Structure 1
Amino acid sequence: MRWTRPSTLLATFLTLLNDRMGESIVFPLLPYLLAGFSNDGRVLGLLAGSYALAQFSFTPLIGALSDRYGRRPVICVCVAGSLVGLLLFAVTLALPWERLWPGAAAAGWPLALLFAARLIDGVSGGTAATAAAVLADISAPEQRAKAFGLIGVAFGLGFILGPALGGALATFGITVPLLLAALIAAVNLTMVILLLPETHPPEARSPLPRKRDLQPFAQLARVLANPQVRRLSAAFFLFFLAFNGFTAVLVLYFKQAYGWGPTTSALAFLVVGVVATLVQGGLIGPLVQRFGEWRLTLAGIGFVIVGFLLILLATAGNAQPQVFIALAILATGTGLVTPSLRSLVSRRLDEGGQGAALGSLQGLQSLTGFVGPPLAGLAYETVGQQSPFWFGTVLMVGVALLVAGGLPGQATPSPGATE
């Protein structure tokens, strides 16, 4: 490590942890937080997708600003923005609108403020990318893979702690988890100000790129135009389109179909976090060596389809055990597909194209976080409560065909190949 101060790693780790925990505390509780203003799946889908849209749109700019002005000021502004967004969300939910402003809910003001809060939080969502840049700054090239492992640890821990704490604190009041998320962001901001040095020296900084180079869709178009990875990139997009749509309406489905409260719903997301972390953190390496990325991707898609179908077949009498088993199977599948599919894309590219293509995959994933939830919410309200899960199953079959090469004009890989 070029910087040996433990405080640098501590502040960076807390920034990564705060980025994941802030979202994982709020997301499983959204239907309950919205209950006073709307129970419409379309509103829920748009609110869930607004965060992803803002993050997708502004992450390239935030990365460029950190290259131009340094990591520390950008992280400070982003964490402060996240704090403002969380506080605005909490205050909007806590205010007695009918007493302060009769008819405000009917006029849509509280919902508008909730959307504004999510957009502010999403725009500030570049903290993870900038914190990763800090790790690159302080690590020698041969140590970066080890340093980047900190990202996986923080994200896994955040996805486990967020739903667990959110569900437990929701019993004291539905806005209490939001106040905890805001408190964590405030502690994060304080530690960044006090402990994080600037790791990107002035002599290494670069000017801001042209505006068209900051346009996120330009990078996506380039990767989708590459014949080497076009089919796999399309599979990646469809996989997360289905997965993000499914997760956006899942808690609303639990609430309306089974009468589950916020604690049980948050516990369901905790199961997903624990299983996915175990698969990606400990099992994926040995499994890749044993079976290869291509087989694991197809097996993972199969697990996800089974998980969807088990949820669809659950009844009020067996909902809790069957749904929890289904989510564990689904999380196993996601934990297999995500790293394996990324690896398949990486293996098809030369070294010069790695960064742009893998960065574009992240952009595709963020884009599905905006497109998937509103589409799922629309289907939920207009077609039926179970329709997002059926549509997700159909999309997963399409993903399997794309990966397997089963579409017309695509050659099927040999059984022993990795793609």
Structure 2
Amino acid sequence: MDTACGNVSLLRPPVDLQRPRIPTLLSAFLTLLNDRLSESIVFPLLPFLLAQFAPNGRTLGLLAGSYALSQFLVTPLIGALSDRYGRRPVIAICVAGSVVGLGLFAITLSVPWPEASLWPLILLFSARVIDGISGGTAATASAVLADISSPEQRARTFGLIGVAFGLGFILGPFLGGQLAQIAVPLPIWVATGFACLNLLVVLTLLPETHPAEERQDLPQRRDLNPFRRIGQVLINPSVGRLCGAFFLFFLAFNGFTAILVLYFKQRFGWGPELSTTAFLVVGVVATVVQGGLIGPLVQRFGEWKLTLFGLGLVIAGCLLIPAVGAADRAPAIFCSVGILALGTGLVTPSLRSLVSRRLSNEGQGTALGSLQALQSLGSFLGPPIAGISYDLLGPTSPFVLAATLLVIVIALVSRSPLTKNLQLST
């Protein structure tokens, strides 16, 4: 096959030419896997990684939220840059940023610092911000998959996103727990090595999939403001309450999960292995629910009932965890986080679908993109709020706060115009 033919097949692949798509699919898959793997390795280990510098809830919450804030602010720009300059350079720069962020994090943890030095925390926060700014890889890799797929093949090709995310959520906690038994910073070095492999594959195998004639001009600065997009969707009378519920759900969920490992560490004396096993349970359950069960369940019960039932499960998990005593705590904790994961696996896709069903086709992209922004904003605000609550009001207070917010979410979903229509039609 000559080069020209190969390039055409990558940009608009005919059904009978599948082999040139393999390097592109591999590059996109590794990029998506790296995006989830790096985060799922680091996140459950943060209390142990911070133990020598600042073992308190405030610092943990701020460090966990800094990644989400950076991603929230920059993701719209990264998407626009990939439409203007192409997918390949944007993905390469973002993955390189991930290498720098993870590498700086690993180096900071491995250097012997003098006591009371502020430099370790400054460098750790800088590393998380760099990694967060580089976190637009998932959206751009998804655009690559859309570029190389016909409309008929797109759903099947997009299945790679779910596979990569599910695998990342499972492998991250598992590798983190096992490697941390050897040395706590070792999982971060392994994540850095995987990001380097991802960068090498992108630079050597990934072609440009967005043709020059389809490039778009950069939007105006105001259109890249994530707060403007959020404001527009929150004042929409059709979906405003549902979008507010979506934001509060992720604020609550990401808040108490950010301090979950710190809670396990300080109350039960758990080390990295048991703590990361709890997140492994979450990854397995959420992957099974969203990967195979959610479709049949939606057909059987509908999004509205699944959303409310899932919220009830998350509230139950929130209240069960602080109720666990010393006896048989590991099985009880794993059961509780399994209930959490089941509830989250039901709520997230069902609530997105409720918003989507209320909108015309023209409003889908903007509103669903705003949902992602709301999720990132909740992921930023939740951990610091939970961390401050943990330090000032006690270790169980973030769970009570999250349960209270989730009750408000139930009220918003129940009272939204969309769900009233659905109740009348069922």
1:95 to 104, 108, 111: 111
Task: Give the TM-score normalised by the residue count of structure 2.
Answer: 0.94
Aligned position for 1:75? 91
Residue 36 of structure 2: aligned partner: 20
Aligned twin of 2:302: 292
Q: CA deviation at 1:364?
A: 0.2
Instruction: Tell me which of 81, 86, 92 is aligned to 1:65.
Output: 81
CA distance in 2, matches of 1:298, 1:241: 17
- 321, 326, 342: which is aligned to 2:331? 321
Conserved? CA contact 1:294–1:417, under 8 Å: no
Whether 2:382 is the aligned partner of 1:366: answer no
1:190 is matched with which residue: 177, 200, 214? 200
Q: Give distance in 1, aligned partners of 2:337 and 2:47.
A: 19
* C-alpha separation in 2, matches of 1:113 and 1:149: 37
Q: Which residue of 38, 49, 65 corresponds with 1:49?
A: 65
Query: Residues 214-262 of structure 1, C-alpha deviation per residue, up to 9 Å, x if partnerless?
Result: 1111110111011000111111111111000011100000000100000
CA shift, 1:385, in A, is 0.5
Equivalent residue number for residue 290 of structure 2:
280
Paired amino acid for 2:255: G
Change (3 A) 1:317 1:13: same
Deviates more, 1:37-46 or 1:147-156: 147-156
Q: 268, 277, 281: which one pairs with 1:258?
A: 268
- Output the amino acid matched with 1:252: L
Q: Which residue of 2 aligns with 1:147?
A: 157
**Once the 2 structures are TM-superposed, how far is the Cα of residue 208 of structure 1 from its aligned partner?**
1.1
Any stretches of 5+ residues in structure 2 without a counterpart?
Answer: 1-9
Partners of 1:67 and 1:405 in 2: CA distance: 38
2: CA distance, partners of 1:267 / 1:410:
38
Q: Is structure 2 residue 317 aligned with structure 1 residue 301? A: no
For structure 1, which segment, 105-114 or 31-40, has the greater mean C-alpha deviation from structure 2 after superposition? 105-114
What is the alpha-carbon root mean square deviation over aligned residues?
Answer: 1.4
Q: Is 1:177 equivalent to 2:181 in the alignment?
A: no
Distance 1:412 1:222 in 2: 22
- C-alpha change, 1:313 and 1:230, in structure 2 (3 Å) is same
- After superposition, the Cα gap between the structure-2 partners of 1:173 and 1:403, relative to the gap in structure 1 and judged at 3 Å, is same
CA distance in 1, matches of 2:250, 2:179: 30
Which amino acid letter does the alignment assign opposite residue 209 of structure 2?
T
| 2:409 corresponds to which of 378, 382, 399 | 399
Structure 1 unaligned spans of 5+: 99-104
Q: How far is the alpha carbon of 1:412 from its aligned partner?
A: 4.5
1:214 maps to 2:231: no
Other structure's SS at 1:172 match: coil
C-alpha displacement at 1:143, in angstroms? 2.1
Percentage of matched positions with identical amino acids: 66
Determine if contact 1:404/1:413 at 8 Å carries over to the other structure: no
Identify if the C-alpha distance between structure 1 residues 263 and 358 changes in structure 2 by more than 3 Å, giving closer, same or farther: same
Aligned in 2, Cα 1:412/1:136: closer, same or farther, shift over 3 Å? closer
- Per the alignment, in what secondary structure is the counterpart of residue 106 of structure 1? coil
Instruction: Give, in whole Å, the separation in 2 of the partners of 1:66 and 1:181.
Output: 25
Deviates more, 1:29-38 or 1:210-219: 210-219
- Please identify, of 121-130 and 313-322, the stretch whose mean Cα deviation from structure 2 is larger: 313-322
- Alpha-carbon distance in structure 2 between the residues aligned to 1:130 and 1:80: 14
| Shift of residue 91, structure 1, vs aligned partner | 0.5
Letter in 2 for 1:148: F
Alpha-carbon shift at residue 107 of structure 1 (Å): 3.6
Aligned residues: 410
Helix, strand or coil at the partner of 1:97: coil
| Bigger mean CA offset, 138-147 vs 78-87 | 138-147
Letter of the aligned partner of 1:294 in structure 2? W
Does 2:320 align with 1:310?
Answer: yes
Match in the other structure for 2:5: none
Q: 1:88-146 CA deviation, whole Å, 9 max, x = no partner? A: 00100100112xxxxxx424111000000000000000000000110111111232222
TM-score by length of 1: 0.96
Determine the structure 2 residue equivalent to 1:166.
176
C-alpha distance in 2, partners of 1:97/1:331? 38
Corresponding residue number in structure 2 for 1:101: none
Pick from 107, 123, 139 the counterpart of residue 133 of structure 2: 123
Cα distance change, pair 326–413 in 1 and its aligned pair in 2 (3 A):
farther
Instruction: Work out the CA distance in 2 between the residues paired with 1:317 and 1:80.
Output: 47
Alignment CA distance shift 1:167-1:78 (3 Å):
same
